[in-house]
A and B are shown apart, each in its own frame.
Chain A
């Protein structure tokens, strides 16, 4: 799509009254053409590797996306999913282009608009490609069948003598006899529901799937035309500056807003705990908000960043054993070599460069919003409930999202913005400052993992007793083929502030623990860690990925040079197998770690857009170095002290090593997750690399110089 077209599609009616679409009869109100409707529940095309964890993702009873071949032959793909940098605006169009036989540039992606798009629970869990690719392809195949039937009538040729190509239905024996999709759909309105599995193209017939494609939204992004929530500027709009308490859980004791009221044009809002200044100049709003004087009751501190792990262990409640085979306790007692270790992972911020933002305006009795959210439909519901409005009176519109990583599933800022728009009667924008972003992030939770394991001298793991406090079970299913095993989950520890999903929730913490522990066992019995892994793994696909990683890396041994070493970690997430080998150098005098190289092999089934999958993997690995080595939140209970990038160190240009991504060639199996999986392996691979480079075994992330030096003492 051309930049202006995208802008027209997204923002064409910013300044005009917004059209109201009632979702219950959206089909009636759509224009003409051929419309394909499909629902997750009616189809059995789901990924074969999905696990229970992922089933919550979509409401199976709802219509889930649809496509429409317009009367001009262009195709609208309407989906409740959103684009936040993960590239589905390109890969979904690519899939449609393939199956429907139309040029990529003829596809309009309409995403995350709660009036135009059917319900979607949220963009998370690396689900889009796994769930929507098969569905979109099915819808496209259904549309093709319908187009061929229409063409058979028009051309007076039997349907089986026709095929589709580049937006035309063509007579197989005479390619000059053809009719375009637009000629077939003009003046018609046909609605088809996909109910049975249609015949899809075979991988050997693919012309577009599997080909690297440059992102279709790139031009908008490099020219500054791509609009994010804060870029929406409405006539008469007021910017909000919210007076924040010093700590989570603090409540207002006394408040004085008189000095804020002295600013000309300032609207001061005080409704319960929500205190804000609104002004058409954001700088004045900010200045006036500083003048509000308030005293707070602050809850007593129960823990800080030093003592939090004891608190997590004390307050987490036992949930269930998620996996149990044989007798793990007995096997541990009788093991030849015993290992009993604990691993720790602190809170991590999502730290998207775009802070949480929302812009809202009332159009009559309808509230229209542009929100930096991964969950437009959830946001709509939350806003409607807060303002006690009917849900159909809230419209969340399509917008680019400046990074999410799980952090934009939660939308406190949208609720604040909606409340302020209602109370002030004016269009309002709430754009959190970076300080607010760090305060109100829904952090990746602090977690403790305890592993008691046994191994014999041949290198066979004989016992595995895995206790997880606060990280959950995602990705913890055993693939080391241990006969006597138990994995127990303790959940809901008492956190000082909000916690939530962070790119591959829980799996970063638990993969770090498991893969560190595997490395420790291999080392203690004097076996190469890769050989040790291959000795215990039975799954051929995982073995193949390990071998591919080793071959690509040129793996010989874990020690790679003076002060240098490499480490491996294997992880499973969202149906994808990830194997990472990371090489680092550790300065023995100051403990500084320099990442030198990362090689990542993945089995993600069919790779729709190898280019996009590579970009996602590189991004995940780069981001992952941050949590492994530097990112840490300092706090005293609800008072978050790390409030900006000067103290929250994320990966930078100079700390990103060369990264190589390879995929096992598996075009015949359904596509699996791509946005999240790779990142889970970074902590373990780096911890192991640091050990082999320096001899320091650090059992807590981030793996800081201080912890490395302590371990070496």
Chain B
């Protein structure tokens, strides 16, 4: 067991864990941030996507030690009070979710994508989102949502 300090949703936090513990499990069962989901456990489906320093990462294949000193954002940290993040807002307006289980990972991946490329083309969105899976088949609506979020954010990403 060792102490690991990092920033979670803009708040500094220190936890005692086994350094090799999987970040997803720590976020969910130790810290209670259950918005981030388990889908495949091999980093393939993207349900567990979070932001580390603004970059979309897979928390199900990440050791908790990797985030020491880093800024971690989960789906719970995206909205400010009742004000949804533009990507969240855009998902609602485009009805880009059905069962909603892949949705947190989709949104985090989209925010990471827009942080990296604030004005993506449709093709860049589709390619940048391609490693996130949705069994309900909402892909076209999700791509629409990301596209309109990019427009509404007007090149600004935060």
Q: Are B99 and A400 interface neighbours, CB within 8 A?
A: yes
Question: In the assembly, what is the distance between CA of A99 and CA of B39, in Å?
Answer: 40
Name 20 interchain pairs, CB-CB below 8 A, sorted by A.
A85-B136, A214-B93, A218-B91, A218-B97, A219-B84, A222-B84, A224-B74, A224-B76, A351-B135, A353-B45, A400-B100, A402-B101, A434-B39, A621-B137, A622-B140, A653-B127, A653-B129, A653-B142, A653-B143, A658-B140
Tell me, in angstroms, the Cα distance from A220 to B139 when the chains sit together.
Answer: 19
What is the interface of chain A, defined by CB distance below 8 A to chain B?
Answer: 84-87, 214-215, 217-228, 230-231, 233, 239, 281-283, 350-355, 400-405, 431, 433-435, 611, 615, 618-623, 644-646, 650-654, 656, 658-659
If A615-B138, A619-B136 touch, whether A224 touches B36 (CB-CB below 8 Å) is yes
Complexed CA–CA distance, A215 and B99 (Å):
11
If A221-B97, A402-B100, A611-B95 are given as contacts, then 9 extra A-B residue pairs at C-beta distance below 8 Å, sorted by A number, are A228-B37, A353-B133, A353-B134, A403-B136, A615-B95, A645-B44, A646-B42, A651-B139, A653-B130
Measured in the bound complex, the distance between the Cα atoms of B126 and A542 in whole Å is 35
Interface size on B, residues (CB 8 A): 57
* B99 near A622: Cβ-Cβ < 8 Å: no
Residue numbers in A under 8 Å from B28 (CB-CB): 230-231
Instruction: Please tell me which one of the listed residues B35, B38, B42, B130 contacts residue A652 in the complex, with CB atoms under 8 A apart.
Output: B130
Q: What residues of chain A lie closer than 8 Å to B130, measured between beta carbons?
A: 652-654
B29 within 8 A of A: yes
Chain B facing A: main interface SS: loop
User: Residue B139 contacts which of A227, A353, A652 (CB distance < 8 angstroms)?
Assistant: A652
Q: A219-B84, A433-B41 are in contact. Are A353 and B22 (CB under 8 A)?
A: no
Closest to A614 in B: B95
Pick from B29, B78, B127 the residue with the most CB of A within 10 Å: B29
Closest A residue to B35 using CB positions: A224
Is A223 a contact of B76 with CB atoms below 8 Å? Answer: yes
In the complex, per-residue mask of B134-153: 1 if CB is within 8 Å of any chain A CB, else 0: 11111111110000000000
Most central of A86, A219, A224, A227 by chain B CB within 10 Å: A224
Q: In the complex the two chains form, what is the Cα distance from A8 to B133 in whole Å?
A: 30
Please report B residues at the A interface, Cβ cutoff 8 Å: 18, 21-22, 25, 28-30, 32-42, 44-45, 47, 74-76, 78-79, 84, 88, 91-93, 95, 97-104, 107, 126-127, 129-130, 132-143
Q: Is the CB–CB distance between A653 and B139 below 8 Å?
A: yes
Within 8 Å by CB of B137, from A214, A350, A400, A618, lies A618
* Given A615-B141, A652-B130, A659-B140, A403-B29 contact (CB < 8 Å): no
A223 to B78, CA, bound (A): 8
Q: In the complex, A326 Cα to B140 Cα: how many Å?
A: 47
User: Is B101 a contact partner of A403 (Cβ separation < 8 A)?
Assistant: yes
Which 4 residue pairs spanning A and B have beta carbons closest together? A224-B35, A622-B137, A85-B99, A402-B101
- Distance between B29 CB and nearest chain A CB, rounded to angstroms: 6
- How far is B100's CA from A679's CA once the two chains are assembled, in angstroms? 20
Residues of chain B within 8 A of A404, CB atoms compared: 99
Residue of B nearest to A2 (CB): B82
How many Å lie between the Cα of A282 and that of B25 in the bound state? 7
What are the residues of chain B within 8 A of A622 when measuring CB–CB?
137-140
Interfacial chain A residues near B134, Cβ < 8 Å: 353
Distance in angstroms between the alpha carbons of A85 and B32 in the assembled complex: 24
The answer on a CB contact under 8 Å between B40 and A218 is no
Give A86 to B127 CA distance when docked, in angstroms: 27
Whether B95 lies near A654 (C-beta < 8 A) is no
Known A400-B100, A615-B98, A653-B143: A239·B137 in contact at CB below 8 Å: no
| A353 and B76 form a contact (CB under 8 A) | no
B148 CB to closest chain A CB (Å) equals: 14
Q: Which B residues lie within 8 Å of A651 (CB)? A: 137, 139
Q: What's the minimum C-beta distance from A191 to chain B, rounded to whole angstroms?
A: 35
User: Provided the pairs A401-B99, A650-B133 are in contact, do residues A618 and B141 lie with their beta carbons within 8 angstroms?
Assistant: yes
Check B100 against A85 for contact (C-beta < 8 Å).
yes
- Give the complex CA separation of A615 and B33 in angstroms: 29
| Residues in chain B near residue A218, CB distance under 8 A | 91-92, 95, 97
Q: A214-B95, A222-B84, A354-B101 are in contact. Are A653 and B35 (CB under 8 A)?
A: no
- Assembled-state Cα–Cα distance A267/B127 (Å): 45
- For A214, list chain B residues within 8 Å (CB): 92-93, 95
Q: Provide the residues of chain A in CB contact with B133, threshold 8 Å.
A: 353, 645, 650, 652
In the bound complex, residues from chain A placing their C-beta under 8 Å from that of B104 are 222, 224
Q: Which residue of B lies closest to A646 (CB)?
A: B44
B36 contacts A283, CB within 8 Å? no
Q: How far is the CA of A495 from the CA of B50 in the complex (A)?
A: 40
- Enumerate chain A residues within 8 angstroms of B141, measured Cβ to Cβ: 615, 618
Decide if A233 touches B29 in the complex (CB within 8 Å). Answer: yes
Q: Is the CB of B92 within 8 A of A656?
A: no
Q: Which residue of A lies closest to B42 (CB)?
A: A644
With beta carbons under 8 angstroms apart, the residue of A84, A611, A654 that contacts B99 is A84
Partner of A219, one of B44, B75, B92, B143: B92
